[in-house]
Amino acid sequence: MWEQKKIKVPLFPCVLYIILTNDLERVKKEFPDCYFDEVYATSVWGKTDEDNNFYCILNPAHREGLNYGVIAHESVHLANFTMRRCGVKADLENDETQAYLVSFFTNEIGKFLDLNSPNAHK
């Protein structure tokens, strides 16, 4: 199984790919530097090419672990990838950029997983 959604990140020249898969061999083939195996529910990975692509890979075998807390955790990584790639310095005194990105990524991944659905964890 391999479900994928491509999302343009607003205000930044970046693209997020959300992938829901249990095809660990394909993940290893397409993303050899990404650490993802059957133990983990999620992994995020930023490609180091000029395309500014970021990937959030989700394992449906750990559906109970795919909750808003975990998604927010991974979204912080995605926000930091985005800011670092685009030359935006993190600022603890004015963290609106990071907060905006974390909110955006969390909402998009949550919508992809349909976390508000009564059947989300089945």
> pLDDT tens-digit profile of 35-69?
776 666 677 776 656 677 888 888 877 767 788 88
Structurally, how many domains does the chain consist of?
1
> pLDDT tens-digit profile of 110-119?
999 887 776 6
Q: What is the mean pLDDT of the chain?
A: 84
**Is residue 89 assigned to a domain?**
yes
Counting residues of the chain whose pLDDT is more than 90, the rounded percentage is 36
Angle at 107 between CA 17 and CA 57, to 5 degrees: 30
Residue 121 pLDDT more than 50?
no
Distance CA 14, CA 81 (A): 10
**Is residue 81 assigned to a domain?**
yes
pTM for the whole structure: 0.85
**Is residue 59 assigned to a domain?**
yes
Helix (H, G, I), strand (E, B) or coil at 8: strand
Residue 90 pLDDT more than 90?
no
Of the pLDDT bands very low, low, confident and very high (cuts 50, 70, 90), residue 88 is: very high
Note down the domain range covering 88: 2-113
Distance CA 98, CA 113 (A): 22
